[in-house]
Chain A
Amino acid sequence: MQLDTVKMLAKIKNTQWALADIDWEAPGAELVTGDPELYAKLKVFMADLMWIEHVGARAFAAMARKAPDDTLAEIYRYFHAEEQRHANVEMALMKRWGMLEGDADNPILPEPNINLRLVIDWLDTYSDEMPLEVLGSVIPSLEIALDGALCKFLLDTVKDPVCHAAFEKINEDEARHLGIGFHVLEVMGHGKLHQLLVKAAGNLLNPKLIIGIAAYLPLLNRMRDNLVKLGLKEERLYEAMNKYKRIGGRTEQGRRNPWFQIISHQSAMVVDRKSLYHVPVDALVRLTDYYPRRWLKATPTWVKGLTWKTAA
């Protein structure tokens, strides 16, 4: 299925929304704050979710630089901003539910966990150098996990209508992100198969990418563990990953994209508890807990751009 990116861009521009479109004072917050067990769970979950959106945003910024044409570059510029908007909305929800530390008018950003910090570090240092094939194939898998598992879980668990109103908007954006994501996944499967393979193999040997993978895999495992602790059914993740495989692989071109193959195999392993994959990766998760903080770069300024505010 070829998608008309020009029409898509027009649609994106026509369907913009802002934080101010949501009534943050509407009743319903007590549905979260009145349930201590849910509250504690959600506090961790929301912070992780917010950071993932934010990391996704940075990836789109890198992709905008790599896009093969102006339309796609502009679409990625919008997606970059939209992911930032999602992170802002999630921060605003946390603010609404009193989950942010610091004083009420000037709350502080929750700390990202160490695996997020490592991914942020990597994105900040190397993402602009990565070929579109790599990010363009990883992003849809992350998005589908977000869309299919995390957001559904959130909406199943939380009854606050403001949260539902906000995610209705977010999901509309995400549907378009996925549309473009799978379109690009297919486009990247064009060309001679052996050339695609040689190129992918070459990229895989790139030490910068290897560092990125070493940062990314433990993040996925940690997230999965956190989610399961919160009560997310593992089948949900499993379904989401199957969806990536199904949609990404619905055309010949999609299947020929070596990155699609790599990622669908890898995500199948992530969701399969019994896979041997987890032995080294879980070890990495534990190892990263001991990662010396002073080895981390100073937090890049783009990280500080998040806000719960509707106006500035």
Chain B
Amino acid sequence: MTQYLDKAPIAGRRSRKPARPAAVKVVEVLIVGAGFAGLGSAIQLRRAGINDIAIVERGTEVGGTWRDNQYPGAACDIPSNLYSFSFAQNPGWTRGYSGSREILAYIKGLARDHDLLPLIRFQHNVEALHFDGGEGVWTVTLTGREPIKARSVVMAQGPLSNAGFPSIRGIETFQGKKIHSARWDHAYDFSGKRVAVIGTGASAVQIIPELVKVADKVKVFQRTPGWVLPRLDFQSPEWVMALFAKLPVSQTAVREAMYWIHESMALGMIWNTPMTRALEILGTRFREAQVKDAWLRRQLTPDFRIGCKRVLMTNDYYPALQKANCELISWPIANISEKGIRSVEGLEHQVDCIVFATGFEVSKNGTPFPVHGLGGRDLNAEWSGGAQAYKSVQVSGYPNLYFTFGPNSGPGHNSALVYMESQIDYIVRSIGKLAAGKLKYVDVRADAQKAYNVDIQKRLAKTNWNSGCKSWYLSADGFNSTMFPGFATQFARQMAEFRERDYRLV
């Protein structure tokens, strides 16, 4: 895979300030990444009275996912009232499901309103983390800059932040334009162009309806069709915005209602229950209503249980596929050539541009950069058979290190931010313990971590994700280290409890 870092500074181009003498200053908390998780952590740490924080961000702006995913049609698929922090509600959402720009504006607002910008060091790309057990200090190695030392580190670098072109045969020979959904090129004019879209996942179903409006021809290359459910999007009436602004409790009530609606979806999406069948019937009816041609409908029929992969929420994907200038191609791709895509039925589909909506490199079996804990132990190696953590946030042998979106914390049915908030609260608590107790470090006990994972894997075995479809939730050998097998409420309850006996306090 060709992986590229977002505007990573070139090695050697150091900051103009004279390098600080090493080992002088140890930051209390260093946060990697200035997306939702990084900024949310900083806000809550400060509320808890922890102020010595540094955020390192490889990009030049805050926003993470929503800074990167600016493709046409980009939007959240969880209602905005729920896809935002409970401690920073936004009465001004203009839509039920806001677009990428609006979400980015909200995140920028968070950084501004909470005065976080002074904490952020942009164009700081983390290359590695090393823990010194004697001192109880992490050394954060950066590309082309002096390292930073920190007592605690929060890894909030995002689960879906590394985008790359997939390794399709011949991809390097293509003479036309290549665009990845997470690195949109706004300067490229699609009007009158012949475009191929590879992938039919969450991003693709948002991009395709937009491209069909402007491009001359859109060819959609599909490997596996997913379940599609209708999305109840609407424009927020003025009076609702006014009400939310005047009476925040009304927005909290709506948020609560949405939370419980999504929680109830877990019943059908996570486990195989009568509700699963009901959702599948809904999906099937929706497809029958929206897709007229029997063969096209067959091509779009998923052959796995609903919930096994991310459900696609969209009303305009199926209609877009049936527009005269759009074509669904379900033949496998043989290779990419100079002029386009050759599929196995023997045809060369010649295009001006290929849009890769092929997802992200998710590190299921490793860390995005080397992490060395007590005694130099290597997290990458330890995770080679599948990532494991304690309650998703900590790993035994790596004291004072925290993860947002760590192993088994992914939601399939509810807002990622709901999960994130309970992780952040937990992290703040643990870091608070460290500060209050004047401790060198807190480290999870190996046996506690083991017991936790035995339980998680037992519960995962009964879920739809592990029911036999391939998805980015699973590693190549089918190990699920991505998803949390339960309700968001259960996750929150698990995170609300801090069991001191599960720790070694040094």
The 3 closest A-B CB pairs, nearest first, are A81-B344, A85-B346, A16-B334
- B296 contacts A301, C-beta separation under 8 Å: yes
Chain A interface residues toward B at CB < 8 A? 13, 16-20, 65, 70, 74, 77-78, 81-82, 84-85, 88-89, 124, 128, 300-302, 305, 307, 309-312
Which of B279-287, B335-343, B389-397 touches A? Answer: B335-343
Residue of B293, B347, B349, B350 touching A19 (CB-CB under 8 A) = B347
Interface residues of B in 321-376 (CB under 8 A from A): 331-332, 334-335, 339-340, 342-350
Closest B residue to A305 by beta carbon equals B345
- B296 contacts A18, C-beta separation under 8 Å: no
Residue of A13, A65, A70, A81 touching B345 (CB-CB under 8 A) = A81
B residues near A77, Cβ cutoff 8 Å? 332
- A302 contacts B347, C-beta separation under 8 Å: no
- B332 contacts A20, C-beta separation under 8 Å: no
Most A C-beta atoms less than 10 A away, residue of B295, B346, B347: B346
- B334 contacts A18, C-beta separation under 8 Å: yes
Closest A residue to B335 by beta carbon equals A16
Pairs across A and B, CB under 8 Å, 27 listed: A16-B342, A16-B344, A18-B334, A18-B346, A18-B347, A18-B348, A20-B342, A74-B332, A77-B332, A78-B332, A78-B344, A81-B332, A81-B343, A81-B344, A84-B331, A84-B345, A89-B346, A124-B294, A300-B294, A309-B347, A310-B346, A310-B347, A311-B340, A311-B349, A311-B350, A312-B347, A312-B348
Known A-B contacts: A65-B303, A81-B331, A305-B345. Give 18 more (CB < 8 A): A16-B344, A17-B346, A18-B342, A81-B332, A81-B345, A82-B345, A85-B344, A85-B346, A88-B347, A301-B294, A301-B295, A302-B295, A310-B346, A310-B347, A311-B339, A311-B349, A312-B347, A312-B350
Please tell me the size bucket of the interface on B: 20 to 34
Is B121 in the interface zone, CB < 8 Å from A? no
B residues near A311, Cβ cutoff 8 Å? 339-340, 347-350
- A128 contacts B298, C-beta separation under 8 Å: yes
- B348 contacts A20, C-beta separation under 8 Å: yes
Interface residues of B in 287-337 (CB under 8 A from A): 293-296, 298, 303, 331-332, 334-335
B residues near A302, Cβ cutoff 8 Å? 295
- B348 contacts A310, C-beta separation under 8 Å: yes
A residues near B294, Cβ cutoff 8 Å? 124, 300-301
B residues near A82, Cβ cutoff 8 Å? 344-345
Q: How far is the CA of A18 from the CA of B341 in the complex (A)?
A: 11
- A307 contacts B347, C-beta separation under 8 Å: yes
Q: How far is the CA of A124 from the CA of B293 in the complex (A)?
A: 12
A17: min CB distance to chain B, Å: 8
Q: A16-B334, A77-B332, A84-B331 are in contact. Are A301 and B293 (CB under 8 A)?
A: yes
